[in-house]
Structures are given as C-alpha cells and as structure tokens.
Structure 1
Amino acid sequence: MKNVITLFALIFVAVTAPAQDRWLRGTVTDSLGNPLPFGSIYINNTSRGTSANEKGFYQLKLNTSANQVVFKFIGYNPVLVTIPPGKADTSVHVQLSQTVYQLDHVTVTGKKSNTANRIMRMVIDNRIRHLEEIRNYVADVYIKGMQKLTRAPKRFLGQDVTHVLQLDSNGHGIIYLSESESKLHFQAPNNYREVMLASRVSGKNSSFSFHKAEDLMVNFYQNLIQFDSLAIRGFISPLADYAFAYYRYKLLGQITENGETISKIAVIPRRAHDPVFRGEIYIAEHDWRLYAVNLYLTKKNNINLADTIRFSQQYLPASDNIWMPSSLQLSFKGKVLGFSYEGYFVGIFNNYKINEPQPGTKFSGEILKISKNAIKKSESYWEDKRPIPLTKEEIRDYRQKDSIEHIRTLPRYRDSIMDVENRLTLAKAALFGYTWKNTLTGRSLRFAPVLPSLFYNTVEGFGFQYDVRFKKEYNLKNSIEVTPQLRYGFSNKHLNPLVEGRYYYDPVNKGFLSLRAGSEVLDLTNLRSSTSVTNSLNTLIYETNWRKFYEQSLLSFSASYETNPGLFLMGGLEYSRRRWLNNTSNFRLIDHPGKSFTSNNPFYPDDNTIPLFANHTAFIFSAELDYAPAARYITRPEGRFYEPFKYPRFLVNYKKGINDLFNSDVGFDFASLEVYQNDLKLGLLGRASYTFKTGKFFNAASIYYPDYYHYRGNNSLIFESSLRNFHYLDIYRFSTRGQFFEAHYEQNFGGFITNKLPLIRRLKLEEIVGGAYLDQSSQKNYAEVFFGLQRLIFRVDYAVAFSYGVKVYHGFKLSYRLK
C-alpha cells in the first residue's frame, strides 16, 4: 500500500477493561504536532470507526483480539496501526504526513483541466449507478452538535447577554452542546426511519436533541441538494448531470492506494454567485466514486443563517464494493446583530448492513422517534458509549451547566433563581411580553406586551385589548391553559371581557378541548385581528377607516384531534348574540382636505345610521377535516412535529346554522373544499405555494353578513401578506352567500435574477411572482398578477388587477409577513 505506514504501537496500561472490549485512545496530528480535527479512525476492512474531536483527540472501542486500525484525514497519508491482542486500554498517538499528489503522468501545460474533465465525466456517467446501488441499509449513528459564541455584545434588547447565555467576560461560550445515539434505517429512494435511543443536552436534563441523522446525509450523487432553512433554492452538486454548465474542474494530483488511483480535484464555480459549492473532491477511479469530500458554501451563494458552511465526508467500504460515509461533518460560522458564532455537527456511522432484509422495520411517515427514556442515560453510559472524546471546553460546559441545572432543583436555591429569571423589565412589559414561571409547580403566567395591545378605530376610538395566559403543566402529556381577555373602547365605552380555557390531553395527536365565554369585537369578515396596527395607522394618519366591526356575546366549545398522522379533525359549537356597531369617534392626527371617515357599513359609506344587519342570535355547528398525504414527522415525547409537506393537502369545511334552536335566527348550510401546498420545492427556481378553493351555500334561507364567505381583500397601501390575500379586491363588497371559486399562486425565486446583478445581490433580495383569481356571482373573472422584491419579512409588490380582462387597478403595495 503506497504512502501507508504500518506501525507497531507502544502500549500503555491505563484502566483494566471488561473482558470483551477495551479502549484505544490518543491523538491525531500532522507532522508538526498540530491537531487534525475530526479525522477518521476505523478498524480496517470494517465499517466500524470513530472520529477525532476538534482538538485531534480520539477514542475507539476494540475487542481483545488483534486489530488493525486505520487513521485518515482528508489530504493526508493514511496510517495503519496494528494493535496486539490484550485486555488493557491502549494509547496510540499518530502523526499523519500531508499527501503529495503527483502530476507525473499529466503534462503540466494545459492538460490538467482536460484530465479533470475526463475524470468528472466518468464520475457523472456513473452517478445514477452509485445512487441506486443502495436499496436499503441499517446503521448505528452517533451525532454531536456544538454551537458557541466567539463574540457577543454586553447587552441585547435590555438583557444581560453574559448572564442569560452563561458566557465568560469576553463574550465567549458554548450556547448549545448535545449528543445522541440512534439506530438509522434507510430504504430507497428516500425513506428514513431513525430511533433515538439516547440523548443529552448540556444544562437541560429534561430536553432532547433536535438534530437528526438524515440532515447530515448530504448525498452529492444527487443532482440537486436542498436545505430547508439555508436557502430558498437548491444547490447544484459537482456530480450533477449538468454540472459542467456550472463548474470548472482542476486536477490537483493523484496517488495510488491499494492499487487504486485516487484523484484530488478542485471544484471551481464558473460564476461565483451561482448556487454551487467550492472546495475539493477525491475520486476513486476504479469504479468512479467519491472517496472523500471537502466542499463549502459562502455568503456569495445567498445562504441564510451563516457566512460559511463546510461539508466534510469520509467514505469507507461497507459492503461488496459499496462505499458509505463513515464520518460526516457540517461546520459553520457567521455574524449577526453583533454576535459572532461558530459550530459543528459531526456524525459517526457504524456497523452498516447494506441491502439486507430489515424484518420488523416499517417505513411510514415517522422519520424520527425519540424514546422518552432517551434522556435518562447516566454519565457512565456516555463515557462507555461516546465514540468522540469531549474537548476540555465541552467537559467544562457539561459540568458547569449540569451543576447549575442541579442547583436549580434544590429547594434552598429555587426561589432565588426564579426571582432572577422572572425579573420584569420595561422592554418585556412594553414590547415582547412578560412570562412568570414556577418550575417547581409547572405553573406560568404570560402577560401580553402593552404597546401592541393598544389600538384605534372609528367605532371604539382609542382602546386596548389585553390578555393574560395562565398555564399549568402536569406532565408531557397533559396541560391546561386559561386566558382571560379584557377589551375596552374609550369612545363607545364598551367593556368586553372574554375567557378561554383549553385542556391539552394528547399533544402527540393534537388533542385538546376548548371552551370560550364572554364578549368580543370582531372584524366583519372574522378573518383579521381587530387590533391591527396597520388599521390604526391608516385611520389616524391617512383618515382612512377601511376596517369595519361588530360585537358579539358568545359561548363556544371546540375540540381537535389527529386520528392518524396527517389527518386532522376539528369540530365546534357556538352560540352567540351579535350586535351592530356605529362609529363613535371622528379623531384623526392629520386632517386631509376633501376626505372624511366612512360609516361602519361598507355598503352605505356616507350614512352612519343604516346598520348592515339586524341584531340576531346564531347557533352554529362547524366541522373541518385537513388531510396531508404521506406526511413526514418527528415524534417526541411532547408531541408530533411535521416536516414540510411534500404533497398537496386537502381541507374540507362544513358549517351549519341551526334555525330556531335556542332562538337561533340563522339557518344555512355551507361546504367548501380547498387543495393547497406551501413551499413546494422547485430546485433552482425556488419554491412555490398555491391554493385552489371552491365552496357553496346549499341552503341560505336565513343568513346574516358575518356568516357569508369572505375573501382576504385589501384596500390599503400597507398590509400583512399572506398566500390567500388579494392585493386590490375590496375587503367587504364581494363576500358571498352563493357559490365561488378562488385560486392563489406565489413563487419565491430566491435570488435567481437578483443574485446575478453586481450591486443588487448585496441586498439579498428575493423575487416574488404570483397571481390570484376569483369567480363568483357578483365578481366574475377577477384576476391579479404581481411581481415583488422581498427581504426578510418585508416586501414591495407591483400588482395589476383585471376584471373581465380589463385592467381596473395597478400600483405598488407594501407588505410584511409575521408568520
């Protein structure tokens, strides 16, 4: 084996090990003694191995017989160490020399790119074979994740950052440290099932790790690689069928290992700002497969959440010419709002069983299940099972935070700790809300922020709507919430108290019961918040009171349950007495000549004496079925959490107004069907969301305006954006008691165009294109098209509206999205 050194190690007795296994420990460094972080260490001719930590320390459990152990690091010569038989722990420190990749048989002038292209064409030609040769596999997986701040401001939003995040005086410190142990099952083409058997989070004895093995399995044999949180668009693999349109390749050199030629190839983007990777890949030419990967993304690739993300992969022969990743590392660093951070996730995949029967394994939508006993593993368990040694910093973090967590449970410290954590600040009270918690009893009180609770409209004048939520947690499966709310209008002097109680009896299956009683003020469409900041500003500054309101006293009951994964059922009964309201306030900050407020009846804007509807009583039954086919989800002890849905969802809604029962004045039957999908992945073209909805009142014998079907219209320049919003459709005029069809489509191109423009790309703008359509008795063939630019939660659109093919409105609209 060329460039492989065989060593007979010096053996040091450390601790007598059990009869059937022992530890091999040591360091992996370069020829100058510098640590090689996350190097691979594995037993020769097996898929059992480990990785060094970020300081180069490693540990690997061996049996008592003789073992041959290989030490590897990308770009360095591997070393083979023979460990004699024995029962004692062994210490081996290995130095790796940097690989000298030869170009002896390649003409230096003008030929290296040609050779690299030839190699990459062969790899791309064999891409599908390597992608499809794995029908299924099972593996043991260990994952460690660490995130730390390398710089932080002293205070942020009024909070002492050093104290809250437990940092040192320089603003350094680990903010997340976790490790887990899982069994991972895979079935082609893309079915995963992982069972997390053990989990540990520093300073959080009752918390579970949030990572999963599937996230680390970045498969560069796929044409396009998508990351849900990193970018709207996908990233093109250097092995993609069309890779030559996006990459140039350069041969950096070749070595021979086990009689096989390994080529080191530089991956160079043709255009710096395309959704592409940079770095090096290592190709084994025997069967044109990946040998190792060292690629990265930068801010030039329009990624979110980080400045640089690096992917390192080491492959090992796992079964009959099938090579699998044994060590996967994802590392990152970035800066945001004065914070500098870095971190990594490293996964060790052991004991592969490939293309073998998996009896008892059922691949369903459950991609990860976390055992409720996963967090109950002792420190000795982790010391025995952990394949990657902790660094001194990580050991210190575990000890300090776990000690603090233990102290928090001691009665003599609990009160003082809660006093500190429950400290009220002006920023919390005014802007963000304040939460008081008693960790001993499981009780908490959530006080709404004061400023967002204030509002102004022409019906109530200045007012406030304030709520406090009380919550009692009994265990992971049961909790109760009681939320009293008080609303008062200073102009009409109406006081509206409301209370809601909600009992969660089965969080895994979204099971809860809810009871509401009291009175409230609602928008006429029942679709929008009646304390909208946008409406208050429009009314006070622009003398435009678009929003209209009514008041109701009510008693309602509702229930929800998920009968099967992806099948959600809801039902409810509501008894209410509804009252029409008139304008009572004419105040505005700016008086615009020629403008005046309109009445609270959108159909008679100049007459404040004509009510839109008579006061009436309503008794209404409602039911809803929401079905998400092939839903993928994670099951944790505290609930079921869904991944983005891959297929369209179906929503069926039914409402019945029951006439004469409890003196109810309403009598109608309404049903609707909606097909919708959010964030459909379109590869390089970003993501799209759409909805198609149709509905009909089969009986409208006695129906009042609040029970009409309402659309999300808009009359203002600034509004809260939503997929189901129209840009120009009047809010109230086209609500219907008949039949309707509406459709909405929106596509986010994620910088497909703007990232190609030299100055604009720095703004990280995302292009939004979409449209909407409505057909009903009073507004047939109404359509909108729009183009917009979005940054974070803010967006500017240019929209055009058509009715019967004739342009009726056009102009710019400003919007924001809070969820």
Structure 2
Amino acid sequence: MLNSFAARASTLLLLLLSSYASRSQGIKGTIRSANGESLPYATIYVRNLETGTTSNDQGYFEYPLPTGKYDLVFQYLGYQSVVQYVEVTKGFAEVNIRLEPQTIVLKDVEVRAGKEDPAYTIMRKAIAKAKFHQQQLDGYEAEVYIKGSGRLIDSPFFLRKEMAKEGLDSTTAFVTESISKVKYTRPNTYEEKVLSIRSDGQDNNTSPLEYLRGSFYDPMVGQAVSPLSPKAFGYYRFEYLGTFKDRDYEVSKIRVIPRSKGDDLFVGELSIVEDYWSIHSLHLATSYMGINFIIHQIYNPIENKVWLPISHQFDVNGTFFGFEFEYNYLATVKNYQIKMNKDLEVDLVIIDEKVDKELATKLEAQNKNMEPETTQKLQSGKELTRKELRKVLRDYEKLEMKRDTISDVQYITNVTIDSSAYKMDSTFWQAVRPVPLSKYEIKGYQKMDSIALVNQKEAEGDTVKTKQGKEGFRAYDLLLGNTYKLGDKSHLELKPSLLSLNFNTVEGYNFIYELAYTKTFENKTWLEVTPLIRYGFSIHQLQSKLKTTYKFGDQSLALEGGRYMYQINSKVPIYPIINSLTTLMLESNYMKIYQKEFVALNYKHQISDKYRVGISAEYANRIPLENQTNHTWFNQSDKMYTPNAPINVELGQTNFVVHQAFLTGVKFSMKPWQKYYIKNNEQQAINHTSPEITVAYDNAIPLADAEISFHRWSIEVEQSLDVGIRGRLNYRAGGGGLLAKDSISFLDYNHFMGNRTPVQDIDVVKSFRLLPYYNFSTSRSYFNLLTHYQFRKLFLSRFKFARKRGVKESVFVNYLGTESSLNYAEAGYSIDNIFRLFRIEGVAAFQDGVYLDWGIRFGVAAYLEEMFDFE
C-alpha cells in the first residue's frame, strides 16, 4: 500500500511539474470568420501530436505546448480548414486565424425533377458501411477533457427573489470539469480513470463516457434515430448540398430532413468523407419533451487509418414548469492510441446497386460462385455491393457473438477515480485546462471558492457557526415526519401521519401512525422494526401491527403480526385517498375491508437479476365488518352507501362469518432473457429486455381451528416492448384456477384489479378501467389480458405543436374471461404527457361484444412511472 501511495504521489508530482513548466509557453489567439465574427468552440488540432483543444465561447484559445514545431489544423463547421505551421520557443506564440466559408462545389451530377438526389447514393454507402466502422477498431485509449456548464436563464416570477438570494441567477454558471483516461475494447467495454475533477458541487461525478460511448454509427443515438440507421430512409429525406475539400479529402455535405418532425428524429447537416464513407463532422438537433439538444462533432483521421471524433459539443436548452435553462457540454479527445481490427484492415470499394446496376449484377454473380469465408471476403479488397457488404458484416457479427462468452451483457463501463482527483486547486486547472472559461463560468468558480473559504474558516473556528449541535424532536414532526440518527449505524424515522388521514364507511375518519427503526450491521445486513397503529373514529377501535424485517445479502426474512384492516382484494385495487374522496364527495364507497388478527412469516430470495423466489405462511382469524357511518360531504338523495359486503355474480351476497385460516404459498419470478450492463463492476439490468414470468402456488391447510382448505395456482407474464421508433407495447397476461376447494371463503377468491373511480393508476396495464371491483371475482379458472400501445404518431401527435410538447397517444384493450364474466372487454384511447404531467383516457366496456358502459379516466403521465421507478 505504501509503494502504491508513493507511485501515485510521484506520478502526480511529475504531472504538476510538467504542467507548470509548459503553462508558460504554447499557442494562443482567436479564431474568427472572414468578417471578424468570433467562432465559438472551434477545433484546434495538433496533427503531429494527434492532440488538440477548442476555443471558448468568444473564439479565444490558449493551449500549452513544449518547445517544438507544430502542424496545426483549425476547423469549424461550415468553414474551410486552415493548416498552419507554428514554432513554439519561449512564451506563447500568438496565432490569430481567419476562416473562410467552405467553398461548396456541386458535383457534375444532374439534379432535376424525376432524378434521384445524389445525397441518396452517398447515404446508402455510408449506411452500408456503418457496421464496418463500428467493428474497425479492436480498441483505443485516449485522454478526455470534459466540461459541463449550466445556467438558469429565467424562473417563475414568484420564485425569483428567493432564488437570487441563493445565487441562482442568469449571471452565474455552475461548472464541472474533469480530466480522464478512457479505454475502449471491442465490442462493448469502456473503462475510465478520472485523474482530476473540479466542480461547484452540482455534479461531482460527471463522466464523459455517457456521451462518448454513443455513436452515430449506431441505429439509435439516445432516444432518436440516427441518420446512419439501416432504417434511416423510412424516417429521413436527404439533400445533397455539395462537396468541399478538407486537406486531401473530398467531403460531401448532406442536409438531414425528418419526414415528420418530432422528438425522435434529428435535423441538420452531416458531412461524409468520400470513398471512406465515414463521418467527417455533423451539426444535428433533436428534442425530447420540449427540451432541445444540439450536437456538434468534428472527426479527424487518426494515424491516417480511421476517422474518430476529437471534439464534441452538446447544447441543451428548454423550459420546464417556468424554469428556462441552458446547459453546454464540451469534450475534447486527444492522444488517441488505436489498435486496428486486423480482419477489417482493408479499403473496401462499395458499389451502389441502385446506381451501378450492371456492375452490381456482375459482381454478385462472381462473388456468389466464390463463397469464401467471411473474413476472407472482408479482406479480399474486392468491390462489394451494399447488399453483399451487409450480409458479410452480419455473418461477421454472428462469428464475433459466438466468441463472446457474456452474451447477456450488452455493454460494460468501469469508472475509477484517482484518490487525489478532487484535490487539484485552481492553479493546476489553469495550467491544464484546454479551453478558457467564459465569464459566467469564472463567476461560478469564484462563488464556489468563496463558499469553500467560509466553510474552512468555520471549521477552524474563525466564524460563528449558525447551528449548534443536532436538531432534536420538534412537535410538528408528529405530523410531518422526520428522521433521527441514534448512532453510527441506526436511525429512527417518524412517518408523516398528516398524509395518512383517510375516510371509509367502516371506520369513518381514520389515521395511521408509523415508526421505523433501522439498524445496520456488518456484511451488508440490516434489521428494521416497524410498529404501526391505526384508529377509526366511527368504529372506536385502535388497531396495531408490528413488522420485523431482517435482510442479509440478497435474502430477507420478515415476521409480522397484530390486528389490522385489509382490503378484500389483497392487491389493493383502490388507494385509500381515492376512496376517501369518492366516498365523501360522490357518496360512492368502493373500498371493501375486513379485519384479521394474524401472524405471518415471509421469506424472499433475489437469486439473481433473472430469478427470485418468495415463500410465505400465515395464520389468521378473519373477521367481517359492517358500515358504521353514513357521513358524507355532499348528500345525494338518489344515492346511498352500499354494504361492506360486495355483490358477486357467482355468490350473490358475499357475507362471511368469523373463521380461521392457515395459508401457505410460494411464488417464483423470472426474466429469462434479461440483458445487462456492467457499471463499476456491478451488473445492472436493462429495462424492457425480457418479459417477467411469475408462477405462484398457494393453499389453505385445515390445521387446528383453521376451516379453510383449497389449492390454487396462477401464472402471469408482463412486459414492456419498444416497437419501432417511439412505439411501445405494454402487456400483462395472466391465468389461474383452483385445483381443489374443500372449503373456501370469498376472501380467497381470485379477485381482479377493477376501477370505478375517475382516477386511473400510473401503471397502464395494472388495472381495468371500468370493471367493478368484485362482480366477477371467481373460485373457478380465469384468464385476463391487459394491453396498451403507445404510438409514435396517431392523430394529435401528427401535429408539430403537440409533438414538440411531448404529447403521446395510445390505445388499449383489456379482456377478462371467467365462467360468469361473459367475455368482459374494454377498449380505449388516451392522450398522455399533457403538460408533461397528466393523462386522460376515454374507454368503453363490452360483454359478449355488446356495449355495456363508458367512462373518462384521469391519471399521471405514464412515463413518470419509469422516471421515478414507481411500483
């Protein structure tokens, strides 16, 4: 350990010394257009070192270099590159550059009505070769400087004063900078070592990998379709803007035009290197939920073999709930060390069969007879049609996948942070920063440094501390909740009881008070003890239960017991707050409850991300309850409360007598085709890559005084599928039945997730929309299916104003099949993401194809479930 520390210290010392030695010499200057306008974030590439930097937002650059002669390339999108030779001796050599607009020359191609735009043959070749570029390198190493800078432009008027007091205004930018070494290994492994980080505290763990890993050679970039996707022609039109010369390369400029504008497509310009069919540079924009993303990238030939990005710029701006903001993200990549894939170290000549039909036919006939091995085809150097190239690359990928022993892992990213990464001061950053700070960023750092100074003085006792000791118990904590630290590894949490006040016709107004004591032990084990009390003012009854959970590794054991109220359907089809409102305001008491005195034991084991199992046992005395109040806020003469025992088609009245039951069960869930990514050596599941299949068996054993006896099974499959671009299918299908039922209570029937309230669950396939809660509960076999499909474009979403605001449209169809449900079905249409928060649905119900009922339902925007990981 001592040797390791000494090595790190010596490395850091050498880095600092070299930084201080070189900061006194190098190059500096400004980059302007021919008419004198500053060119922000222009690229300065040191060709003989394969390193470089960019100018700042004012077109100014300052880059330290040791003594020597340098071959500099100055680049800016839309302008001719300038190559200049500079000798650095002492001090900074001043280099002021004027860039002329690119001289765009139209090729000798006839473009007229009835003729295909030449952009299409260029894009066909570039798309055909995209997979080639993805596989071209076995790996690379590089150094990355990354800077994220965010600024609040405007805010709601009623918050501006308070935000200004906190220093949140448009004149100050929050900045994060980092310097990293990155390593890529084909096909999917990225490693990053963060050497240093400087931040104002807003984003200490910024990493460039999330941006640099994405590639426009992939079918998707973020949430949008890449112009180089195999399906690009279905989503884009392309327009040839001309060809320009960049050093010794011919580069064609293509306008990218979405066939229909929306959140999922790019618009802008893409430049393609002729013959190589690789990206030269791009300027593309897209949007998501009304937030705009503008991407600039400049590529350079590394070792004259492969074009790789050396400069990334991401500009993000938008308005969210009255807060207008901008965020600029800049990354420069230098010192590439590449390792070529020897299988693909060849210059391919691609023939577009739509243009050169005769030659393509001849080549396909020749190559068909040869049928060489896949790698031999790639290395042959022969001319290939786009069709042949696609087939060969598909075969090559299949061979590569067979060599990959971790087929479930889609990509791997490992980030390590040097122990001294946060210790570099402003002097160090001034020496190594390749891009000078803007005035907003300077002010942000000044503010950060002043806060750090105050904190240091407080720590040293030079200023009066504003808080003495720990805050103790406050009376309003009983209503609003709070958490108290009891020791290094234990704490006590008071749950907010104010939000637990509800109403039902059995208890009247009722409230819940809950505590949670947590104790953490060694080896990632912890114990939680949760006592809970509940009081109903109309039933005049105090209830309580206690749950103790011990978690060890991926397993947990919970013991629970007491006397408490539960809904007849244990899946909780109606939330207490919703029931309170419908009962008090609409005189509709949908919730049906009973009481049980019980003790239960539950064991859960997360075997892996793919498999988990649960085992349960419970002995309960189950007690029926009746309404105790007819209180309501708005008395409606034509309505009255329904009994607490619901109506059921099979049973009629569902009243039951006090009885005991001993219940056991086992549940097994699996995601057999789950895909993963590995981040920092921890495997994490990727959403929507496998259906979840749950198989359950439970029974009631007539033990001691227990009277109930049955055996029951069920199976359920749930999945969310991305269909095409921005289309998403959610479904939940399930079935089950009883194998035997010597004695069964209505409590043990198979109940379904109905809904009669105007409010719909956030999970779009969790419940029906109009189904009565207990009408079709059954002791026989059943099947149900809930489906929901969100369209990319339907009616409203065809209009630009709706798509720009993130509005989505969906249709859904639900079905319940039991012996008595008469093929109950629902069909509906929904408008989602209204004001980015809400959803409205219209739905109709049918039995045996005959219209039954209709309704309107309101809910929270469905995408928020995934964003906040709701269950």
TM-score (structure 2 length as normaliser): 0.76
In structure 1, the residue matched to 2:199 is: 202
In structure 1, the residue matched to 2:282 is: 293
Distance 1:716 1:612, change over 3 A: farther
8 Å contact kept, 2:28–2:63? no
In structure 1, the residue matched to 2:690 is: 647
Listed as ranges, the matches of 1:232-311 within 5 Å are 234-235=224-225, 237=227, 242-243=232-233, 246-247=236-237, 249=239, 251=241, 254-269=243-258, 275-298=264-287, 303-304=288-289, 306=291, 308-311=292-295
Distance 1:511 1:176 in 2: 42
SS in 2 for 1:535: helix
1:355 is aligned to 2:397: no
In structure 1, the residue matched to 2:511 is: 464
In structure 2, the residue matched to 1:527 is: 571
Pick the aligned partner of 2:150 from 126, 147, 151: 147
In structure 2, the residue matched to 1:6 is: none
Distance 2:112 2:522 in 1: 64
Distance 1:314 1:692, change over 3 A: same
SS in 2 for 1:209: coil
1:603 is aligned to 2:647: yes
1:78 is aligned to 2:81: yes
Distance 2:546 2:62 in 1: 58
8 Å contact kept, 1:319–1:354? no
Q: Deviations over 1:215-271 (max 9, x none)?
A: 4544334555452xxxxxx446277655487435252x5431233222344444565
Return the offset for 1:51: 4.4
Q: Deviations over 1:290-321 (max 9, x none)?
A: 210111125xxxx2162x21011111223664
Percent identical residues: 22
1:328 is aligned to 2:312: yes
In structure 2, the residue matched to 1:671 is: 713
Distance 1:775 1:105, change over 3 A: closer
Of Structure 1 and Structure 2, the greater helix share is in: 2
Distance 1:103 1:468, change over 3 A: same
1:718 is aligned to 2:704: no
SS in 2 for 1:719: coil
Distance 2:460 2:520 in 1: 20
SS in 1 for 2:631: coil
Distance 1:531 1:415 in 2: 46
SS in 2 for 1:134: helix
Listed as ranges, the matches of 1:693-772 within 5 Å are 693-722=734-763, 723-757=765-799, 764-772=806-814
Distance 1:154 1:103, change over 3 A: closer
Return the offset for 1:210: 6.2
SS in 2 for 1:133: helix
Listed as ranges, the matches of 1:16-55 within 5 Å are 17=18, 26=28, 29-30=31-32, 36-44=39-47, 48-52=51-55, 54=57
In structure 1, the residue matched to 2:660 is: 616
Name structure 2 gaps, 5 residues minimum. 1-14, 344-399, 866-871
In structure 1, the residue matched to 2:365 is: none
SS in 2 for 1:533: helix
- 1:535 partner amino acid: N
8 Å contact kept, 1:213–1:347? no
In structure 2, the residue matched to 1:3 is: none
SS in 1 for 2:121: helix
SS in 1 for 2:129: helix
- 2:658 partner amino acid: A
Pick the aligned partner of 1:799 from 836, 843, 847: 843
Distance 1:557 1:645 in 2: 32
8 Å contact kept, 1:333–1:342? yes
Return the offset for 1:460: 0.8
User: How many correspondences in the alignment?
Assistant: 774
8 Å contact kept, 2:749–2:779? yes
8 Å contact kept, 1:43–1:49? yes
Distance 1:602 1:39, change over 3 A: same
Distance 1:642 1:245, change over 3 A: closer
Distance 1:106 1:422 in 2: 78
Q: Which moved more, 1:384-393 or 1:254-263?
A: 384-393
TM-score (structure 1 length as normaliser): 0.80
Distance 1:176 1:209 in 2: 12
Return the offset for 1:601: 0.6
8 Å contact kept, 2:190–2:412? yes
Q: Which moved more, 1:39-48 or 1:706-715?
A: 39-48
Q: Which moved more, 1:478-487 or 1:440-449?
A: 440-449
Pick the aligned partner of 1:815 from 853, 859, 865: 859
In structure 1, the residue matched to 2:543 is: 496
8 Å contact kept, 1:692–1:741? yes
Distance 1:177 1:659, change over 3 A: farther
Return the offset for 1:608: 13
SS in 1 for 2:580: helix
Return the offset for 1:631: 2.4
In structure 2, the residue matched to 1:97 is: 98
Distance 1:118 1:346 in 2: 33
Larger radius of gyration: 2
Q: Deviations over 1:179-229 (max 9, x none)?
A: 4736453545xx454456568473659x862656244544334555452xx
8 Å contact kept, 1:329–1:344? yes
Distance 2:751 2:631 in 1: 29
Cα RMSD, aligned residues only = 4.7
Distance 2:44 2:489 in 1: 46
In structure 2, the residue matched to 1:177 is: 176
8 Å contact kept, 2:486–2:492? no
